[in-house]
Amino acid sequence: MKTILTGDGRTLSITPQTGFFKQNTALAMENKKIFTDAGIIAVDILGSVGAGKTTLAGALVAYLKGQKRLAAIAGDLTTEIDAQRIRAQGAEVLQINTDKGCHLDANMIKNAMDCLNLSNLDIVLIENVGNLICPSGYQLGAHHRMVVISVTEGPYQVVKHPHIFQDVSVVVINKIDLADVMEVDPQKLIADIHTIRPGIPVILTNGRTGQGIAELATALKLDK
């Protein structure tokens, strides 16, 4: 910080220049290092309320549990429903209740990490609060961010929320079995995603049947 006294001696210019998000970003980098040093791949799962984040996290657990040691951190405002659903698939799950908060932040993940035995884990899935806006601004320290959209959200979800895709590594289009009945063209959604992030992997899934889950695990490098 610099303080400059002007020529007339009557005014001061103070330049704090500390970013409001700096602390969160720094903490996210620390979290990432802790995950990496423990040999863990962490995935931040973003998406709207009802897109299928919990179902997909559960499906990934069911698919990978024979070969990998998994835990999940589930973010939700008030309930423990998500944690119970993922736990039922065979993973240790911590529920973070944000109360009224619309996103998880790096400090919440830090606190959750303190409750997990990291040396016994290969993968940590972090289910963010259902929201296509705010979570994007708060890095958590995951190695991958994945966005889940579903055809039931209609044909404009991607173009209406371009910024959620800014730093994700994989996009999932879920409930693909309902595309026809919803009159949503998945190819158009893929084209929209590729306008914003050319060449990024887009996986079509049906979280209920497990369709696309193997491909998703490979895209996130979870099955290696």
Partner 1 sequence: MHETAIAQSIIDTVMTHADKAGAKHVDKVEIEIGELTFLGIDQIRFWIENQIAGTVAEKAEWIFHSVPGGIRCPACQYEGDIKTAETEDHFRLPVFACPECGQANIEITQGRDAWIKAIHVEID
In the complex, the residues that contact partner 1 under the rule CB under 8 A are 3, 9-22, 25, 102, 133-134, 136-137, 159, 162-163, 165-167, 169, 192, 195-200
Q: Cβ 48 to partner 1, closest distance in Å?
A: 15
Q: Cβ 28 to partner 1, closest distance in Å?
A: 11
Which of residues 9 and 66 has its CB atom nearest to partner 1 in the complex? Answer: 9
Q: Cβ 118 to partner 1, closest distance in Å?
A: 27
What lies within 8 Å, CB to CB, of 49 at 6+ separation is 130, 131
- H or E, element range at 194: helix 186-196
CA 193, CA 195: separation in Å to the nearest integer? 5
CA 43, CA 81: separation in Å to the nearest integer? 20
Q: Cβ 101 to partner 1, closest distance in Å?
A: 9
Find residue 92's DSSP bridge partners.
71
Which of residues 67 and 195 has its CB atom nearest to partner 1 in the complex? Answer: 195
Which of residues 118 and 200 has its CB atom nearest to partner 1 in the complex? Answer: 200
Residues 165, 158 contacting (CB under 8 angstroms): yes
Scanning the structure block, which residue is given the tokens 């889940």? 148
Which of residues 63 and 165 has its CB atom nearest to partner 1 in the complex? Answer: 165
CA 45, CA 51: separation in Å to the nearest integer? 11
